Amino acid sequence: MKHLSKYMLAAGLGACIYSCKKDNYAPPGAMLTGNLLYNTDTIYVEKDAVHFQIYQYGFGKVGPISTNETFAQDGSYSAALFNGDYKLIIPAGDGPFVSATTSSGAPDSVAITMNGNQTTDIQVTPYYLIRNAQASASGDNVTASFSIDQIITGADAKDIESVNLYINKTQFVSANNNIAGASVSGSDLTSLSGVSMSVAIPSMTPTQSYVFARIGLKISGVEDMIFSPLFKVEF
């Protein structure tokens, strides 16, 4: 029994040492960062709604090493990686834009070589962009003015389902995160320039003298909305 106890103790100590060594591997030390862009225009989206996947070449890997990564609402992204060769893919159907595809129709990838910190912007083509947006307080309302620029035309064009103005107490503003919103159907838009919308500011507890606002455009047949920049509106 003493020999068995010594053996079990040694085995347990060995397992602990192995586990500790395994746990002490250095974490990824390089940061991959970048932004969603159309040429030089930032693509603003809903926080945690548009996904991307990262694949690593070699090591017998087939699937993505990261499956639930998302872009921030300002279109930025980041991932901690080891040095090496990777590819980044936006899954088909994600985002208010068309991303590049291969001849087979599969999402095209962006090749990335990590050797220390790396910045790689992702170029996409949005169906629409919100241009010249402004937001201000007028009485008990937030009023926004803007124009809509249709980027994709022809056979691949899609209609505007609705245009929306959202406000929130915090800087995270979307259809799923707001304290008030107003909406105009795409069929009711008489022009894509000089659009104006207003939304009433509700009472807030605790009270504050500002809200954050964003304009969101919903495209027919596309799940994700495209947004304007974020505005802090004081009143």
Whether residues 110 and 208 share a domain: the answer is: no
What is the per-residue pLDDT across 78-94, written as a single tens digit (0 to 9) for each? 999 999 999 999 998 89
Residue 3 lies in a domain: no
**Do residue 42 and residue 107 come from a single domain?**
yes
Domain extent at residue 35 = 30-125
Query: Which residue, 125, 145, 167, sits at the end of a domain?
Result: 125
User: Among residues 68, 92, 125, which one ends one of the domains?
Assistant: 125
Phi, psi of 14 (to 5 degrees): -65, -40
- pTM for this predicted structure: 0.85
Total number of residues shown for the chain: 235
Same domain, yes or no: 140 and 207: yes
At 21, the pLDDT band (50, 70, 90 cuts) reads very low
- Tell me the range of 6-10, 111-115, 148-152 where mean pLDDT is highest: 148-152
Token couple for 192? 């894509």
36-58 residue pLDDT tens: 999 999 999 999 999 999 998 76
Give the chain's end-to-end CA distance (angstroms, integer). 79
Predicted confidence (pLDDT) per residue in 193-229, tens digit? 999 999 999 999 999 999 999 999 999 999 999 999 9
Residue at which a domain ends, from 110, 125, 140: 125
Distance CA 50, CA 116 (A): 26
Residues 134 and 223 in one domain: yes
Mean pLDDT of 144-160: 97
Residues 167 and 108 in one domain: no
Report yes or no on 184 lying in a domain: yes
Q: How far apart are CA 167 and CA 203, in angstroms?
A: 12
